[in-house]
């Protein structure tokens, strides 16, 4: 079966592409390369286009006889989405609308949508499950929630089999060349500071949590990729017709604990300049967001296999190599 992976040249997308090919699936990538890197997907057919370009999407679906889509292409920076909400609605919502229209016209049967824990906003529970009422607190999260509704509504009208996968905080690299080089996530942000011999920044240590810093559910990108393989197979074989599921580890790690792990793994813990400094809270950062993972375990038989040390060590290897220019 052939899958179109949108955003397949991105950090998570390239991991999904590699895992799906290793599992024996045919893959073609559609990516506008706005943040993606074609070097991550050498040897994989690539259509360079925006998902809002209906003609290119339709041609790609027909030329490659696509039967399933994994849709990862999106803008993902929370702060930017607050400044430029309409840009996020255009890229994430209008892009998805065009893609779904082309997909249903082309008879695509399965659709995996890259959603996010951002749909929950600031859940007031230890472990948030999929039945919690979604209350996104920024335009990025809203675009993901609207996207889930669009996929589900389309499925109701057409019979499209679908999975909305809500990723928690993705980190790590399954291979050094696939490492996350953007600095909008915590781990690369801390790496960048340490590279410059500057203290990493922690935003707020006065939250109602054990060490006062925010608590997140970090999940290895290799585990995210294997969840996509499991979802794609379940949809493709008709074992699952509709699923909304968290992808996390179900374990909370505080930002301060994560920074300490990074200092230890990078061998900088003894350096005085590596001690974190605390700055003011960022607007819209919820205190604690940790996944309940019961549903994905029950429906797909999937669970995360990698721990936080592996996430940091694998990212650091890729980061150091690209810093050294290799
Ligand atoms: N990184 C995380 O922690 C995280 C958490 C939850 C959800 N997600 C979601 O996962 C997906 C992938 O995120 P990532 O971290 O790999 O980001 P990324 O920026 O590395 O990848 C996004 C890819 O999509 C492409 N792209 C963006 N907009 C496009 C468009 N309109 N048309 C065609 N291509 C487009 C980019 O060039 C890039 O290759 C996104 O949908 C994001 O919202 C990420």
Same domain, 162 and 20: yes
Structure tokens at 275: 């001690």
Same domain, 47 and 163: yes
Give the distance (Å) from ligand 1 centre to CA of residue 143.
Answer: 13
Q: Is residue 71 part of a domain?
A: yes
Catalytic annotation on 140? Answer: yes
CA–CA gap between residue 252 and residue 204 (Å, rounded) = 17
Q: Is residue 300 part of a domain?
A: no
CA–CA gap between residue 296 and residue 182 (Å, rounded) = 28
CATH number of the domain that 153 lies in?
Answer: 3.40.50.720
Q: Is residue 150 part of a domain?
A: yes
Same domain, 146 and 208: no
Phi, psi of 296 (to 5 degrees): -65, -30
User: 128: Cβ below 6 Å to ligand 1?
Assistant: no
Report helix, strand or coil for 175.
coil
Same domain, 129 and 75: yes
Q: Which atom of ligand 1 is nearest to the CA of 8?
A: 39
Structure confidence by residue, pLDDT tens digits, 32-51: 999 999 999 999 999 999 99
Place of tokens 């993902």: 76
Q: Is residue 299 part of a domain?
A: no
Same domain, 9 and 124: yes
Same domain, 311 and 229: no
CA–CA gap between residue 292 and residue 248 (Å, rounded) = 8
Residue 271 has a CB neighbour count (10 Å cut-off) of 13
Structural domain range at position 46: 2-168+220-247
User: 74: Cβ below 6 Å to ligand 1?
Assistant: yes
Same domain, 190 and 53: no
Same domain, 91 and 106: yes
Residue 237 has a CB neighbour count (10 Å cut-off) of 11
User: 167: Cβ below 6 Å to ligand 1?
Assistant: yes
Q: Is residue 297 part of a domain?
A: no
Report the range of poorest mean pLDDT among 153-162, 173-182, 245-254.
Answer: 173-182
Cα separation values, 235 from 70, 140, 184, 258, Å: 11, 27, 32, 35
Per-residue pLDDT, averaged over 198-226, amounts to: 97
Q: Which of the following is catalytic: 88, 140, 167, 207?
A: 140
Cross-sheet strand order for the sheet of 288-289: 253-254, 215-216, 288-289
Q: Which atom of ligand 1 is nearest to the CA of 95?
A: 31
Same domain, 99 and 233: yes
Same domain, 81 and 196: no
Specify the pLDDT at position 323. 72
Q: Is 284 left (phi over 0), alpha (psi -120 to 50) or beta?
A: left
Report helix, strand or coil for 5.
strand
First to last CA, the chain: 35
Q: Is residue 296 part of a domain?
A: no
- Residue to probe by mutation, ligand 1, list 38, 76, 114, 119, most atoms within 8 Å of CB: 76
Structure confidence by residue, pLDDT tens digits, 159-203: 999 999 999 999 999 999 999 887 778 999 999 999 999 999 999
CATH number of the domain that 315 lies in?
Answer: 3.90.25.10
Place of tokens 């509704």: 149
Specify the pLDDT at position 209. 96
- In this prediction, residue 325 has a pLDDT band, given cuts at 50, 70 and 90, of low
Report the range of poorest mean pLDDT among 92-101, 275-284, 293-302.
Answer: 275-284
Q: Is residue 298 part of a domain?
A: no
Q: Is residue 161 part of a domain?
A: yes
Nearest to 111 by CA among 248, 198, 226, 241: 241
Structure confidence by residue, pLDDT tens digits, 48-83: 999 999 999 999 999 999 999 999 999 999 889 999
User: 95: Cβ below 6 Å to ligand 1?
Assistant: yes
Same domain, 70 and 103: yes
CA–CA gap between residue 147 and residue 144 (Å, rounded) = 5
Q: With contact defined as beta carbons under 8 Å apart, do 20 and 44 qualify?
A: no
What's the pTM? Answer: 0.96
Same domain, 97 and 133: yes
Query: Is 326 a residue whose pLDDT tops 60?
Result: no
Give the distance (Å) from ligand 1 centre to CA of residue 73.
Answer: 5
User: 72: Cβ below 6 Å to ligand 1?
Assistant: yes
Residue 44 has a CB neighbour count (10 Å cut-off) of 19
Structure tokens at 323: 């810093």
> For the chain, what is the domain count?
2
Report strand pairing: 215-216 vs 253-254.
antiparallel
């Amino acid at each position: 079966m052939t899958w179109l992976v949108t955003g397949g040249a991105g950090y998570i997308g390239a991991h999904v592409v590699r895992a799906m090919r290793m599992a024996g699936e045919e893959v073609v990538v559609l990516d506008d390369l706005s943040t993606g890197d074609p070097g991550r997907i050498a040897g994989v057919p690539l259509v360079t286009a925006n998902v809002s370009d209906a003609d290119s999407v339709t041609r790609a679906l027909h030329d490659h006889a696509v039967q399933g889509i994994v849709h990862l292409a999106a803008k993902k920076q929370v702060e930017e989405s607050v400044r430029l909400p309409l840009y996020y609605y255009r890229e994430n919502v209008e892009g998805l609308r065009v893609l779904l229209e082309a997909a249903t016209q082309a008879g695509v049967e399965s659709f995996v949508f890259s959603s996010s824990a951002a749909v929950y906003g600031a859940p007031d529970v230890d472990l948030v499950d999929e039945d919690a009422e979604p209350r996104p607190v920024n335009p990025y999260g809203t675009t993901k929630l609207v996207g889930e509704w669009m996929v589900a509504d389309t499925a109701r009208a057409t019979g499209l089999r679908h999975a909305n996968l809500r990723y928690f905080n993705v980190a790590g690299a399954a291979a050094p060349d696939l490492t996350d080089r953007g600095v909008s996530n915590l781990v690369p942000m801390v790496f960048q500071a340490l590279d410059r011999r500057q203290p990493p920044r922690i935003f707020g240590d006065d939250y109602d949590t054990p060490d006062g810093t925010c608590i997140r559910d970090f999940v290895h990108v290799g585990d995210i990729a294997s969840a996509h393989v499991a979802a794609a197979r379940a949809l493709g074989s008709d074992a699952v017709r509709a699923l909304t599921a968290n992808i996390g580890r179900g374990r909370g790690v505080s930002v301060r604990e994560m920074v300490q792990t990074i200092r230890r793994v990078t061998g900088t813990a003894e350096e005085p300049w590596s001690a974190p400094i605390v700055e003011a809270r960022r607007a819209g950062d919820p205190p604690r967001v940790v996944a309940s993972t019961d549903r994905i375990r029950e429906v797909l038989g999937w669970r995360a296999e990698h721990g936080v040390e592996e996430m940091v060590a694998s990212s650091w290897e890729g980061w150091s190599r690209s810093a050294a220019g290799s």
